[in-house]
Amino acid sequence: MNVLILGIGNILFQDEGIGAHFIHYLDEKYEFESKDSTVSIVDGGTLAQRLIPEIVKYDEVIVVDCIDADNSKPGDVYFFDYHKAPSHINWQGSAHEVEMLQTLNMIDMNKDLPQTNVLGVIPKRVADDTTFELSKEIISAVKLMEDVVVKHLDTLDIKTKIKNETTIEHIAQVSFKRDIINGPKI
């Protein structure tokens, strides 16, 4: 099985960039091991529709992005199957030019969408100021986000091994200049 962990977000708009920062965090911290599967990590930024040719190559996709949800607060974390998204989840209103939800809908209409799960987090600050800094609520959410991904990969018989200790605060300051080596180039 080929698995894609796809980070979405505009890193210039504070918490809006958590998807992109988070996948750089995973790439820096972990090695992924499996006899039968591969894991690719891709910073999708705000590419949306330009990601379609990449997404359809995989058997499973984990999309990491900001979301909104009824009765939620900043830092709340959600993990759900794209096809079974809870009705209280809203993926509209982020700072992306074309929403990732719309991109997934287009792929799904063509019956090309792999199994897709969404790891969503509620942002606190979006576009208040141009900065790479994340709110304390998002920083606190990263541990749960990390645990969710590690546990999900374990269900796919993909083991994670820590190779470097790092923090999301550090990664948020350098992710714009990191080049992920284990993922495909878009």
Spatial distance between the Cα atoms of 158 and 139, rounded to a whole number of angstroms = 25
Residue 162: count of CB within 10 angstroms of its CB: 10
Q: Considering just the CA atoms, what is the radius of gyration of the chain in Å?
A: 15
- Mean pLDDT over the full length of the chain: 88
Q: Which residue has the higher pLDDT, 87 or 19?
A: 19
Beta strands in 9-144 (DSSP E): 30-33, 38-45, 60-66, 68-69, 77-81, 89-90, 115-121
- Its pTM stands at 0.89
Contacts of 143 (CB under 8 A, 6+ apart): none
Percentage above 90 pLDDT, the chain: 62
pLDDT at position 130: 76
Q: What is the pLDDT of residues 108-143, one digit of tens each?
A: 999 999 999 999 999 987 766 777 889 999 999 999
pLDDT at position 40: 95
DSSP conformational letter for 63: E
Q: Which residue has the higher pLDDT, 176 or 3?
A: 3
Strand partners, 62: 5, 117
